Amino acid sequence: NTDATEILALESEKYNTFFVYMSTDYVFDGKVGMKKENDKTNPINFYGKSKLDGERVFKKITTPNVIVRTSTPFGLHSKKISFPIWVKKNLELEKEISVVINQYTSPSYVPNISKMIIEIMERKITGIIHLAGDIKISRYDFAIKIAEILNIDKKFLKPIKIEQMNWKAQRPKDSSLDVSKAKKLLKNKPETIEKSLQLYFSNTHLS
């Protein structure tokens, strides 16, 4: 995330190109959520640190650029199975799944994020901006929302604490993002989680 970013930054300076750098909510330590753009960063894992290093590269260059931080993205063409689809498939098979109840993010619908990024590029908005879902929600409550949108029985969802997870890398407990800047600045606004899930599951290949 750093070496390639430095090369791209130099190229953007060379050709005076407006650049969008995609960063993450993981640049924060997760002790307190609903982080704003100017809040202090303090990543707790390698991914977050490498993304923050990339941000620092773009803060140094002279050509116009924007740093976009997002959170828990889900979209249509990911090679990796998305969280909403994972929940949907398991609940339809009536398989019990454990979902973390005390880890909070701001799930982001990729087409919604894309529209906001296009607007930012067209208007040449610079600096740092948080583009994410307009919500702070636990992974468990996100799974509940998915079940409710799809009208699937929720009884197979089992709440579990982050301390019980056997993850190799440490993850922030609360990396939710404050999107008030985007809501104030952009015509295309961050969507609600309900609207995002409705749009997501309305795609024919997901039904």
Q: Assess whether pLDDT exceeds 50 at residue 122.
A: yes
Judge contact between 70 and 24, C-beta under 8 A: yes
Residue range 98-113, pLDDT digits in tens = 999 999 999 999 999 9
Question: Is the domain defined by 3-206 classed in CATH 3.40.50.720?
Answer: yes
Q: What is the mean predicted confidence (pLDDT) over 108-127? A: 97
Instruction: With 0.95 as the threshold, say if the pTM is over it.
Output: no
Q: Which of 139, 138, 158 is nearest to 91 (CA)?
A: 158
Q: How far apart are CA 68 and CA 29, in angstroms?
A: 18
Q: Assess whether pLDDT exceeds 90 at residue 5.
A: no
Q: For 75-89, 136-150, 169-183, which range has the lowest pLDDT when averaged over its residues?
A: 75-89
Q: How far apart are CA 73 and CA 108, in angstroms?
A: 5
Residue range 172-185, pLDDT digits in tens = 999 999 999 999 99
The residue with tokens 């610079």 is 126
Residue 29, pLDDT score: 98
**Looking at the chain, how many residues does it have?**
207
Please list, in sequence order, all residues whose beta carbon lies within 8 angstroms of the beta carbon of residue 78, skipping any fewer than 6 positions away.
Answer: none
Q: How far apart are CA 108 and CA 112, in angstroms?
A: 8
Three-state secondary-structure class, residue 159: strand
Q: Assess whether pLDDT exceeds 60 at residue 206.
A: no
Q: Assess whether pLDDT exceeds 60 at residue 207.
A: no
Residue range 36-46, pLDDT digits in tens = 999 999 999 99
Residue 85, pLDDT score: 94
Q: What is the mean predicted confidence (pLDDT) over 107-128? A: 97
Domain boundaries defined on the chain: 3-206
Q: Assess whether pLDDT exceeds 50 at residue 204.
A: no
Strands 65-70 and 104-105: unpaired
Q: What is the mean predicted confidence (pLDDT) over 1-7? A: 81
Q: Of residues 77 and 47, which shows the higher confidence score?
A: 47
